[in-house]
Structure 1
Amino acid sequence: MKKLLLVTTLASTLLLPTLANAADYKIDTKGAHASVNFKVSHLGYSFIQGRFNTFSGDFSFDANDVEASKVSVSIDTTSLDSNHAERDKHIRSDDFINASKFSTSTFVSNKVVKNADGSLAISGDLTLHGVTKNITLDTQFIGEGSDPWGGYRVGFEATTRLELKDFGIKVMGASSYVDMNLQVEGIKQ
């Protein structure tokens, strides 16, 4: 009996570090507390800013074990909105992102690194325009805590620069890239 108790205790002790304390979160798109934004140069003279109005995602996060975090996001590319209907129609066309053929873009993380300054480098596979490439999101933890509705939330801001040619998207004018900015607020599930 002592031997069985000792084996059970030892097994439990060995397994405890592998049990995740991470919480699962759903990105709060219904409350408009998250956004996927872009900024691209217009012919080298100014910038066009916009967003994707429809997206969803979830992530797991544990402040004590950040590197075990995971992120998964899906973006409806037909929801691209730069506040100019004709321009949006052109950007969504097969001249650029071809949203009718590639209506979904996804990001799935495969590595999270906590940097010395506390920021995070979230690497993963981005599928855009039918092409999958590994990218890194430079991410800042904003904060976490209870909300006024009895839930628990955590927030982040992430940025990255995408080279259009890497995803087979035509370059027009002076800009070969698009800067992405993501505001993410998750509700604990």
Structure 2
Amino acid sequence: MLKKTLAALAIGSALFGAGQALAADYVIDTEGQHAFVNFKINHLGYSWMYGTFKDFEGQFSYDAKNPEASKVKVTLDTSSVFTNNAERDKHLRSDDFLSVSKHPQATFESTAVKATGEGSADITGNLTLNGVTKPVVIAATFVGEGEDPWGGYRAGFSGSTTLKLKDFDIQMDLGPASQEVELIISVEGVRQ
């Protein structure tokens, strides 16, 4: 009788579990350079200046059947800012912009995810940059998921958001065309 009860419980648990979708956990693949945190800002109203942060790490959880249960957390090294110009990068690390000596890290942690269409969502979260924490919304798009050639499983997303520099206590004024910076994010995660 005990064996039959245990067997019934095991079968019931398996069936109940099969009907529930669980979010999978992923580590962002920065070692393979399959993830990027890039930015662009208008330079004096004449052109665009592009840059990236070379060193960051993070993780996310994702379930295609329940995207609202997804979570994201990223930490980046602000001193890794790179714009292909050593003097400009030095200036960006200074107190005029990122204050790297005081604030060596920037972080983003999601607080909510809202599906906005097929394969797209708004990820709301707290961004801490230059010692200031503010809520931001990243407009994200699902790129794809599946098995990789090494026996793993991956999922990828892209997203963007626009930040007002003064909201993050960046007081350097480069003119009216350069008050905002656009973050462009592309991540590929390896399922754990």
Aligned-residue offset at 1:181:
0.3
SS at match of 2:167: helix
**Is the contact made by 2:21 and 2:65 (CA closer than 8 Å) also made in structure 1?**
no
SS at match of 2:79: helix
Q: Show the counterpart of 2:179.
A: 176
Q: Show the counterpart of 2:146.
A: 145
Query: Counterparts in 2 of 1:80-119, with a 5 A limit?
Result: 80-119=81-120
d(CA) in 1 for partners of 2:153 and 2:55? 23
Q: Which amino acid aligns with 2:174?
A: M
* 1:38-78, Cα deviation, whole Å (9 max, x unpaired): 00111111111010000000000011111000000001000
Q: Which amino acid aligns with 1:78?
A: S
Gaps of 5+ in 1: none
| TM-score under structure 1 length normalisation | 0.90
d(CA) in 2 for partners of 1:76 and 1:69? 24
Indicate which of 182, 185, 188 corresponds to 2:188. Answer: 185
Q: Show the counterpart of 2:162.
A: 161
* 1:61-105, Cα deviation, whole Å (9 max, x unpaired): 011111000000001000000000000000110011111111100
Q: Which amino acid aligns with 2:157?
A: F
Q: Show the counterpart of 2:53.
A: 52
| TM-score under structure 2 length normalisation | 0.88
* 1:19-50, Cα deviation, whole Å (9 max, x unpaired): 66111000000000000000011111111101
Query: Counterparts in 2 of 1:4-83, with a 5 A limit?
Result: 21-83=22-84
Runs of 4+ in 1 over 4 A off after TM superposition: none
SS at match of 2:41: strand
Identity across matched positions, percent: 53
**Is the contact made by 2:98 and 2:130 (CA closer than 8 Å) also made in structure 1?**
yes
d(CA) in 1 for partners of 2:69 and 2:34? 24
Aligned-residue offset at 1:162:
0.5
d(CA) in 1 for partners of 2:50 and 2:60? 26
**Equivalent residue pairs, number:** 183
Gaps of 5+ in 2: none
Aligned-residue offset at 1:185:
0.1
